[in-house]
Amino acid sequence: MKTGLMKTAERVRTTISGMPLETCYGPEQLSLFDPNVDLGAPGEFPYTRGIHRDMYRGKLWTMRQFSGFATPEETNRRYRYLLSQGQTGLSIAFDLPTLMGYDADHPMSAGEVGKCGVSICSLEDMEILFNGIKLSDVSVSMTINSPASVIWAMYLAVAEKQGAAWNALSGTLQNDILKEYIAQKEYIFPPKPSMRLVTDTVEFGSRHVPKFNPISISGYHIREAGSTAAQELAFTLRDGIEYVDWGLARGLAIDDFAPRLSFFFNAHSEFFEEIAKYRAARKIWAYVMRYRYGAKSEGSLKLRFHAQTAGCSLTWQQPYNNLMRTAWQAMAAVLGGAQSLHTNSLDEAYALPSEEAVTLALRTQQILAYETGVASVVDPLGGSYLVERLTLDLQRAAEDYIAKIDALGGMLPAIEAGFPQREIAAASYRYQRELEEGDRVIVGANRFQSEDEKPIELLEIDGGAACDAQSAKLKRLRSARNNAEVRSSLGQLKRAAEGNENTMPFLLDAVRAYATLGEICDALRSTFGTYTETTHL
């Protein structure tokens, strides 16, 4: 019978995702003259070594800490603080009612207002959120999906009020509904009308907001749900293919919208596997865009991505260990060529980050950028036998998954059949068994435990006070606005949704009239219906 120690020794030979590892890598594992390696040079097709020739020597990645809690007033103060500390981009976390399209005073919002992000119910809230922050000067990322087009309309309306031209705005709207059906499960409408709303934003953005990314195709939540690195890579890129197909079916030219598609990946703990994952992602996407779609623009071929360190890797046991986890994960993202980065805070296994914890997380990026030297050389691990072998292995594993999804008819039929959900569930189960049996070590959790845990100061959200403040604000808004204009704009939005028009102009009219998020989503619910997932065993 094998002992736990023997099992642990055996597991060193595989990555966290189960990819087999040799004891040492050399020419016998990989010939760098093999045409499949296809290294090229940084900034050149297929961009394995990075999408820019100079990478961080020319410009550092954007340091974009994900933040939002309680009311817009409180979150605005946090944003101003982060910008004063050297953060170079904003990333908005919304609370659960906002993510699900409910106003703060709706019964479904009870107990959740402001808990996991900021509560945004109307254009008034968005105006407060960005008070004193010039949208023409700062890149803004918004992590929202099912009601993403509504929130984006509010953002654009605030920019108008500030006098900022839309063509000067930069940032990213997550807006990736497919990964909601696969992993995160924060959806409102059925898949097809949801995909229509996504395509509306892509079309509208390509014509009116050319520097803004209308979608961030996200593998982060797929990985957090328990997928392997190969599954994260494959399902994310295949989601991207699905969005491209819908854009083309709308009549858009590939090079008119593909350059503004962006991606969002997890930065997990298996250092070299993560670096290889990002390199494989760029390579696969470049091949897909050139050979599957015939894209000509270099911007269409280049995969640009944001990375966030792995929330699922953080432990409530010995929380200061999370500082080290985050640092190594962030370094993997940078060595893999990320365009922007969020570093998790040490206390996030307990609560939303405190000001001290989020400052340490930001300082982690700044130390990485200015003290370690990793930004001084482009793709410093390029040519490593291990990294190049892992890049090839992940590429092939992801391409196998993409072929299987193609055979099922695309990502929507695959989701409806439960294919990616089952694959992720199986991977998650395998990993959990490894933890429970001691084949994987999580320091402080299943080994090297300590009974003497040092307490940490946590950010406490007063959800009741946030709910009361937001509800009172909504009451005042509904009595002060032109309600006839609100009803008219919602009626026109419903008619557009029932037809084939792009919904973005009608959403803009509704938010300018101060229709609330819940009212707008209810108008769309009455047209599109809502979605309940079918469980596949």
pLDDT on residue 454 = 77
Does residue 520 belong to any structural domain of this protein? no
Residue 517 forms part of a structural domain: no
Count other C-beta atoms under 10 Å from residue 476's C-beta.
Answer: 10
From the number of C-beta atoms within 10 Å of its C-beta (0-12, 13-18, 19+), residue 259 rates as buried
Domain membership flag for residue 477: no
CATH classification at residue 354? 3.20.20.240
Total domains in the chain come to: 1
- Domain-located, residue 358: yes
Report the C-alpha gap between 207 and 84 in whole angstroms.
34
Residue 50's domain comprises 4-436
Any domain includes 474: no
Q: What is the pLDDT along the chain (537 residues), one digit of tens a residue?
A: 344 444 444 445 899 998 999 999 988 776 655 666 677 899 999 999 999 999 999 999 999 988 999 999 999 999 999 999 999 899 999 999 999 999 999 999 999 999 999 999 999 999 999 999 999 999 999 999 999 999 999 999 999 999 999 999 999 999 999 999 999 999 999 999 999 999 999 999 999 999 999 999 999 999 999 999 999 999 999 999 999 999 999 999 999 999 999 999 999 999 999 999 999 999 999 999 999 999 999 999 999 999 999 999 999 999 999 999 999 999 999 999 999 999 999 999 999 999 999 999 999 999 999 999 999 999 999 989 999 999 999 999 999 999 999 999 999 999 999 999 999 999 999 999 999 999 999 999 999 998 877 788 898 888 899 999 999 999 999 999 999 999 999 999 999 999 999 999 999 999 999 999 999 999 999 999 999 987 766
Residue 194 lies inside a defined structural domain of this protein: yes
Residue 537 domain-assigned (yes or no): no
Looking at the domain assignment, is residue 332 inside a domain? yes
Q: Give the H/E segment covering residue 472.
A: helix 463-480
> What is the Cα gyration radius of the chain?
23
The answer to pTM > 0.85 is yes
Packing angle of the helix pair 191-208, 517-528 (nearest 10 deg): 120
Q: Give the pLDDT confidence score for residue 2 in this predicted structure.
A: 40
State residue 222's pLDDT score.
98
Q: What is the dihedral of CA 510, 511, 513, 519, to 10 degrees?
A: 70
Q: Cα–Cα distance between 291 and 304 in angstroms, integer?
A: 19
